[in-house]
Amino acid sequence: MYFSKDNAVTAEMIAERALFHLKYSRGKTLQVATDFDKFWSFAHVVRDLVIDGFTATQEEYLQKDVKRVYYLSMEFLIGKLLERNVLALDILKPSIEALKKLDIDLSTVIQMDIEAGLGNGGLGRLAACFLDSMASMELPAYGYGLRYEHGIFRQEFEDGWQQERPDNWLELGYPWEMVRPEYTMPVFVYGRVENISDTRRGKQPVWTDWQMFKAVPYDIPMIGFQTNTVNMLRLWSARADEGFRLDVFNQGDYVRAVEEKNWAENVTKVLYPSDNTHAGQELRLIQEYFLVSCSVRDIVRRHEKKHSDLRDFAEKNAVQMNDTHPALAVAELMRIFCDEYEMPWDNAWEITTKTCAYTNHTLLPEALETWPVELINRVLPRHLQIIYEINHRFLQRVEMAHPGNSELIQKVSLIEENGHRSVRMANLAVVGSHAVNGVAGLHSKLLRERVMPEMSELYPNKFINVTNGITHRRWLLKCNPELSALITDKIGSGWIHNLKELTKLEPLATDKAFQKEFMAIKRRNKEALGKMIENDLHIPIHPDSLFDVQVKRLHMYKRQLLSTMYLITLYQRIKANPKMDILPRTFVFAAKAAPGYHLAKRLIKLINSVAVVVNHDPDVAGRLKVVFLPDYNVSLAEKIIPAADLSEQISTAGKEASGTGNMKLSLNGALTIGTWDGANIEIAQHVGEENIFIFGHREEELHALAQNSYNPWTYYDNDQELQHVLEAIRVNSFDPSQPALFMDLFDDLTRHGDPFFYMADYRLYLDAQEKVEALFRQPEAWAEKSILNVARMGWFSSDRTINEYAEKIWGIKPISIPDTE
């Protein structure tokens, strides 16, 4: 690491510096310091250690004039940073020792760390894993996002119903950010476009009458794992401009003027809490533009430090758009190039498309962003003109290649016309990018074949696949320290830098002594989670039961209701025959539902209602336990995942773009029960189909079913257990005082056509669960498969993913940051 060459980090030094920060940053003595004071002081010691690396990294990028990649994302679900940073700097031992000298427990301090929940789920967590990999692989990279005052809501349950509470992560201060007011950027919205005569260029469009506000950057250092590289995540915070509504000030209405400042400051007030659905609010559009506008300006500013013009912009800068949320970057780059730098359109277009690339994250129609033309015209009038011009030229080319094909034109147009007109952001992103990628093999194929067949024919080489990955440094090394130590003990520590080295564990899969050690660690992780559940929820947990885990956002396509139906089936079997031989199981759910997602919120209530009944029924005799842990977030995931035996990845085939939870769980030795969907397919290919429980209809089969008027009642009529489960849901047999509470869930699976094919997959899922049960009763066979899962998951490191982006899309190379003198 940066500092370690001439300046080894000792426990003495850490202790001394921690006391210094306690005194001079917090104004406290050790005697009166709170746990948060101690955390703050230690976090600043860690932060101080990366400052030299941080400045040296930027200096090196500038001097060498390297090509940089900019990852634009509305979400970065980074979670806690302290422990991760301690591991990245390789100062765990001296830190523990130093804190012990001060009579402080490192784990207490780590607990006080602040959860940065600036994302909803997989998409935001992917961005966070990428930042980790990019820094650890010494790539010149930047994350750009928004500094929401309130991240994803905190979830509580009241009488089994989800309650949303505001997340106040900035309340006590956030030690990992550095505010940079000197790099404040102006952002303009609203107004109109006037054509004004220019003596050289004739009539030119000029955007006027706009309202201006400001973007203040806050930088979070992203420390490479045991390298000198310290990259940054730059998060923008919206502020009112001082001159804001000066006219109102001049009229003497001071209070109203100050009130109006709120408008600007609301822009980064809150993260929109919907996952895989498009909210469509004006404020959300402004948020998206705000991210794009100040980030693009910042990129241009940095480029100009070394270059007198923008001709080689695309050779030095790559912009990756994480989903279509930042797709306005295409129009914004064109506006800056053409309007502010007076570049001819064709040159500007070539540079823009060479610079930009787009990652698609979903095929769900409700998630595809479209914005009403009327709204864009009001908020961003000049951008709408540019989008029209892009569309006009694009459609002209299409018409030339396929004369008279009006159906094709209508399908690929950036403008959707059905009653009212709207801009299709995915089409804008595709046309404006040189590469478009899906996030797993099947998803990329369906993107080409089902969602955008015309586009992929027009641009056969643009569409590629880059399968997602996860950072094993958080999702194994940090979250499962005992397993990590065992692995290092057996195969050395090379896996920390190259996860593929895990294959060296393969020969140990049948080694009885190793199986014992391996399963003992799983058992201790289960005990720890069980204790936490007993403490927090007062549900006694047996660590020898099968921990059946489904943790992810709540969504009908993810089918938490399917595992709930299985659970109800098991309960009904026990009620019918209390003496039956049944494998003890602990069902662990954790999931937030979008606040406006009615069915998802009902499902939370259903699971909590079933839990109350099942957990207390004497006939069950503790053999089934149902636990719904509130407030799923990164830190909770880190506790659950190392304790999982079974990983539920049961989305409707073709609907989960990739999934990354599936990878985290398998890497920690959970066996997957899953559909042929997303990255489950690639997991099956890597771990071996004999080491995973795949079930259910495949996408082609469901596609055919849908085309042949799928009828859920057919399955109902032929399956008594299915009828029995659905009846319990229909009448709410779990709480007769509230009959028909779950009628909407019943209707969705029956009268409303079962859009996610629960009925078709129910029996197949039960059959697969029976195989799970049989295998779990053979501990050695289970252990072998579990070890093989760990050993064969190396390919799913986000280092591999990032390497593919760097080579196939960005054209950037690692650069080592030298040690200083």
Ligand X SMILES: *Cc1c(COP(=O)(O)O)cnc(C)c1O
Smallest separation, CB 89 to ligand X (Å): 23
Comparing CA positions, the residue from 301, 668, 298 lying closest to residue 499 is: 668
C-alpha to C-alpha distance for 205 and 793, rounded to whole angstroms: 54
From the CA atom positions of the chain, what is the Rg in Å?
27
Say if CB 573 and CB 251 are below 8 A apart. Answer: no
With contacts defined by CB under 6 A, name the span among 26-34, 613-621, 655-663, 702-710 that binds ligand X. 655-663
Binding to ligand X in span 568-627, by CB under 6 A:
none
Nearer to ligand X, 532 or 705 (CB): 532
Give yes or no for residue 667 binding ligand X (CB under 6 A).
no
Strand partners, 649: 674
Smallest separation, CB 602 to ligand X (Å): 20
Give yes or no for residue 474 binding ligand X (CB under 6 A).
no
Host H or E run for residue 642 = none
Nearer to ligand X, 187 or 643 (CB): 643
Active site residues: 361, 552-553, 558, 660, 664
Total residues interacting with ligand X, rule: CB under 6 A: 13
Nearer to ligand X, 117 or 432 (CB): 117
Positions of E strands within 191-229: 192-198, 202-208, 211-223
With contacts defined by CB under 6 A, name the span among 93-101, 217-225, 258-266, 653-661 that binds ligand X. 653-661
Q: Which parts of 65-91 fold into alpha helices (H)?
A: 82-89
Residues 6+ apart with CB under 8 A from 450: 363
Smallest separation, CB 635 to ligand X (Å): 8
Residue type present at position 664: K
Nearer to ligand X, 373 or 634 (CB): 634
Residue type present at position 347: N
For 210, which DSSP code? -
Nearer to ligand X, 302 or 664 (CB): 664
**By CB neighbour count within 10 A (0-12 exposed, 13-18 middle, 19+ buried), where does 261 fall?**
middle
**By CB neighbour count within 10 A (0-12 exposed, 13-18 middle, 19+ buried), where does 360 fall?**
buried
Give yes or no for residue 661 binding ligand X (CB under 6 A).
yes
Nearer to ligand X, 147 or 555 (CB): 555
Which position among 552, 585, 605, 785 is part of the footprint of ligand X (CB under 6 A)? 552
C-alpha to C-alpha distance for 606 and 612, rounded to whole angstroms: 10
Which position among 634, 667, 768, 793 is part of the footprint of ligand X (CB under 6 A)? 634
Give yes or no for residue 657 binding ligand X (CB under 6 A).
no
- Write down the residue that tokens 């196939």 correspond to: 808
With contacts defined by CB under 6 A, name the span among 92-100, 117-125, 133-141, 249-257 that binds ligand X. 117-125
Comparing CA positions, the residue from 459, 406, 481 lying closest to residue 638 is: 481
Nearer to ligand X, 326 or 659 (CB): 659
Binding to ligand X in span 47-106, by CB under 6 A:
none
Binding to ligand X in span 230-269, by CB under 6 A:
none
Give yes or no for residue 660 binding ligand X (CB under 6 A).
yes
Phi first, then psi: give them for residue 128, nearest 5 degrees. -70, -40
C-alpha to C-alpha distance for 354 and 332, rounded to whole angstroms: 15
With contacts defined by CB under 6 A, name the span among 82-90, 419-427, 658-666, 686-694 that binds ligand X. 658-666
For 810, which DSSP code? I
Say if CB 763 and CB 715 are below 8 A apart. Answer: yes
Say if CB 657 and CB 699 are below 8 A apart. Answer: no
Smallest separation, CB 672 to ligand X (Å): 11
132-159 b/e (C-beta count within 10 Å ≥ 16 → b): bbbbbbbbbbbbbbbbbbbbbbbbebee
With contacts defined by CB under 6 A, name the span among 134-142, 505-513, 656-664, 758-766 that binds ligand X. 656-664
Smallest separation, CB 152 to ligand X (Å): 9
Give yes or no for residue 368 binding ligand X (CB under 6 A).
no
Q: Taking the CB of residue 815, how many other CB atoms lie within 10 A of it?
A: 16
Say if CB 218 and CB 148 are below 8 A apart. Answer: no
Smallest separation, CB 481 to ligand X (Å): 18
Residue type present at position 821: E
For 818, which DSSP code? P
Which position among 121, 143, 630, 674 is part of the footprint of ligand X (CB under 6 A)? 121
Nearer to ligand X, 585 or 655 (CB): 655
Positions of E strands within 504-572: 546-551
Nearer to ligand X, 37 or 115 (CB): 115
Nearer to ligand X, 630 or 661 (CB): 661
Smallest separation, CB 335 to ligand X (Å): 35
Give yes or no for residue 659 binding ligand X (CB under 6 A).
yes
Smallest separation, CB 483 to ligand X (Å): 18
With contacts defined by CB under 6 A, name the span among 121-129, 204-212, 226-234, 255-263 that binds ligand X. 121-129
Give yes or no for residue 122 binding ligand X (CB under 6 A).
yes
Comparing CA positions, the residue from 679, 602, 270, 638 lying closest to residue 439 is: 679
Give yes or no for residue 674 binding ligand X (CB under 6 A).
no
Which position among 633, 769, 789, 797 is part of the footprint of ligand X (CB under 6 A)? 633
| Chain position whose Cβ is nearest to ligand X | 661
Smallest separation, CB 273 to ligand X (Å): 13
Give yes or no for residue 381 binding ligand X (CB under 6 A).
no
Cα 406 to Cα 313, 402, 431, 659, distances in angstroms: 36, 9, 18, 37
Give yes or no for residue 637 binding ligand X (CB under 6 A).
yes
With contacts defined by CB under 6 A, name the span among 443-451, 530-538, 659-667, 707-715 that binds ligand X. 659-667
Nearer to ligand X, 496 or 640 (CB): 640
Residue type present at position 588: V
Beta 624-628 vs 585-590: how paired, if at all?
parallel
Positions of E strands within 529-670: 546-551, 585-590, 624-628, 646-649
Smallest separation, CB 598 to ligand X (Å): 20
Smallest separation, CB 506 to ligand X (Å): 26
Do you know the residue count of the chain?
Answer: 821
Positions of E strands within 363-500: 370-372, 415-418, 420-424, 435-438, 463-465
Nearer to ligand X, 17 or 655 (CB): 655
Comparing CA positions, the residue from 120, 124, 144 lying closest to residue 72 is: 144
Give yes or no for residue 438 binding ligand X (CB under 6 A).
no
Say if CB 69 and CB 320 are below 8 A apart. Answer: yes
Smallest separation, CB 659 to ligand X (Å): 4
Give yes or no for residue 125 binding ligand X (CB under 6 A).
yes
Q: Which residues in this chain contact ligand X in the complex, by CB under 6 A?
A: 121-122, 125, 552-553, 632-634, 637, 659-661, 664
